[in-house]
Amino acid sequence: MSSPDNAAAGQVDPDLAEPIDEDPPGSTRLLDRRSFVIRAMAAMGALMAAIVGLPVLGFASVPFFRAKTPVRFISDAIPPTLRSETWVSAGALDDFDVGEPRLVLLQRDVADGWVGGVSDVAVYVVRETDEEVVTFDIHCTHLGCPLAFASGSATFVCPCHGGSFDVQGDVTSGPPPRPMVQYETRVVDGEVQVGRIAPEA
């Protein structure tokens, strides 16, 4: 039972001024050094993670803190359509019959990350009165499914969850929380021109 090893472990030779590898029982001095080193290493690890992690997280989350969508309590479905700022022709005003929406493929200058150029963008153009033309984004304001126009009921019908809108873009049934998204629209010299997505009224 009282082997030399056990005896040595239980007592510290006072002549050994600095035992390096063993904690003397009851002493907290070495334990403190040990925990200090461990904590220092943890701090170094955290520092390394921060040095590399901050730029990485920053880069990955640029769209989050640069978000253009307004902060709202009730958030909105965002049309996935490629964005364009310029005005583009949707055809001659005389080609549109009053109250009859038409699906028009606009030739728009769009920027999509590093990809740019002219691209088709579909919109519904509606001549509400003789003079007044409005342009709707084709996506349902519920979750963005593409709306089909049912001429028999003069209704935009969503194929996903049964949402529907009238030709003024107002919700007539189903889950959509908001009217259809509109584009800025003007008539110049008998030509219908479509601009960017209109800020919500």
Partner 1 sequence: MGRIGAWLDERLGIYALGRSFLDRKVPGNIGWWHTLGSATLVLILVQVVTGIALTLSYVPSPDHAYESVLYIDQTPFGALVRAIHHWSAGLIVLLIGLHILRVFFWGAYRYPRELAWVGGAILFFVVLGFGFTGYLLPWDQKAYWATVVGTNIAGSAPFIGGAVLELLRGGQQLGALTLTRFYGIHVWVLPATLFLFVAFHLFGVIRQGIAASPRRKPIVAPQPGESRRDAYEREYAAEKEAGKPFWKALFKDAVVALVVVAAVTLVAFLAGAPLEERANPNGIYAPRPEWYFLDLFQLLWYFGGTYEPLIIFGLFSLGAFVFLLVPFLDRGRARHPRQRPLATSLAGLVVILILGLTAVALFGTPSGVAKVPPREGMVTTQLSGLEVFNSQGCAACHTIDGVGGTGGPGLSRAGFRWDEASIRAQIVTPKDESMPAYDKLSPQALDDLVAYLVSLQ
CB-nearer residue toward partner 1: 37 or 143: 143
Q: Does 177 bind partner 1 (CB under 8 A)?
A: yes
Cβ distance to partner 1 smaller for residue 93 or 154: 154
Candidates 170, 142, 156, 149; CA nearest to 79 is 142
Per-residue contact track with partner 1, 110 to 149, x per CB under 8 A?
--xxxx----xxx---------------xx--xxxxxxx-
Distance CA 191, CA 153 (A): 28
Give the x-and-dash track for 16-45 against partner 1 (CB under 8 A): ------------------------------
Please list every residue from 153 through 172 that binds partner 1, using CB under 8 A. 153-155, 157-162, 164, 172
Q: How far is the CB of 124 from partner 1 (least distance, A)?
A: 11
Nearer to partner 1, 4 or 80 (CB): 80
Q: Which one of residues 11, 27, 61, 89 is an interface residue with partner 1 (CB under 8 A)? A: 61
Of 30 and 155, CB closest to partner 1:
155
Encoding tokens for residue 180?
């259809």
d(CA 88, CA 194): 5
CA dihedral 159, 163, 165, 169 (to 10 degrees): -100
Tokens linked to 118: 């002219």
115 in Cβ contact with 126 (< 8 Å): no
Does the protein bind partner 1 through residue 53 (CB under 8 A)? no
Q: What angle do CA 198, 148, 121 make, to 5 degrees?
A: 45
* Sequence-ordered list of residues with C-beta below 8 angstroms from that of 148, at least 6 positions apart, any chain: 156, 157, 158, 159
| Binding flag, residue 75, partner 1 (CB under 8 A) | yes
The piece of 10-18, 37-45, 79-87, 128-136 that touches partner 1 (CB under 8 A) is 79-87
Longest dimension (CA), the chain: 110
44 Cα distance to chain centroid: 34
- Applying CB under 8 A, the site for partner 1 has a residue count of 58
**Which residues contribute to the site for partner 1 (CB under 8 A)?**
61, 63-83, 105, 112-115, 120-122, 138-139, 142-148, 150-155, 157-162, 164, 172-177
